[in-house]
Amino acid sequence: MRILITAGPTREMIDPVRFLSNRSSGKMGYALARVAARRGHVVTLISGPVALRPPPKVSLVAVMTADEMLSAVKRYLSRCDALIMAAAVADWRPRRVRAQKIKKTTGPKVLRLEPTADILKTLRTKKGRRVFIGFAAETERMLVRARRKLAEKGLDLIVANDVSRPDAGFEVDTNQVTLMEASGGVRVLPLMTKMKVAARILDWLEASERR
């Protein structure tokens, strides 16, 4: 299969030295890319800024902002059979990016924000027969919110996890996820390494292609 994977955070600049972002390390997306490439799939990895080496036999596309990630996904989507959106895209960006560093003594008391593009929702009409997999990183009402995202974004599968746990989610090597299918199936996985979680997700994807 030709698999397009996104990973890591995005950064939305405030000025030349400051930005809005999140705690995503990219480990889950990179694990997915590594496992997929080991299984012989053709993998394109669109990555935000992370401190990780690209997996072998993976084509890396480096991006910074949510808009750059959206543009890259649009560019490569037509070449893929499946999209796994594991990136933690920043939800907000400053309305105005300052050309010079904002000084502490003269900086604004209020930072005005605007929403970034919802990549999966934007691309829903271009899905066709491709398999779309998304992630729901939540801190409360995880299953309810994941089920809503699954429907709103037209996904085939959503991977939900509670990122408030110290042993799952951001910046760690383990994860505990629930796989929720558009068909209604729900599979709760135990705590395991992100490489093993990636293998389970790829198992599901490969099985879906055989149906």
Residues 131-187 pLDDT 10s: 999 999 999 999 999 999 999 999 999 999 999 999 988 899 999 999 999 999 999
pLDDT band at 79 (very low <50, low <70, confident <90, very high): very high
Instruction: Report, as an integer, the average pLDDT of 116-127.
Output: 94
Average pLDDT on 125-134 reads 95
Please give the CATH architecture assigned to the domain spanning 2-101+111-210: 3-Layer(aba) Sandwich (3.40)
Residue with tokens 């509670």: 162
- Tokens of residue 210, six digits: 């055989």
Beta strands 113-115 and 92-94 are antiparallel
**Active-site residue 22, yes or no?**
yes
The pLDDT-based confidence of 12 (bands split at 50, 70, 90) is: very high
pLDDT at 43: 98
Question: Contact, 103 vs 45, CB < 8 A?
Answer: no
Q: Helix (H, G, I), strand (E, B), or coil: what is residue 167?
A: coil
Residue written as token pair 């989507």: 77
Domain edges within the chain: 2-101+111-210
pTM above 0.85, yes or no: yes
Cα separation, 204 vs 200, in Å, equals 6
Q: Check residue 152 and give its pLDDT.
A: 95
pLDDT of res. 108 = 72
The C-alpha atoms of residue 90 and residue 85 are separated, in whole angstroms, by 13
Task: Kindly name the residue from 22, 59, 176, 193 that is annotated as catalytic.
Answer: 22
> Can you point out the beta strands (E) in 68-130?
82-85, 92-94, 113-115
Query: Of 36, 113, 35, 97, nearest to 64 (Cα)?
Result: 97
Tell me how crowded residue 186 is: count the other CB atoms within 10 A of its CB: 12
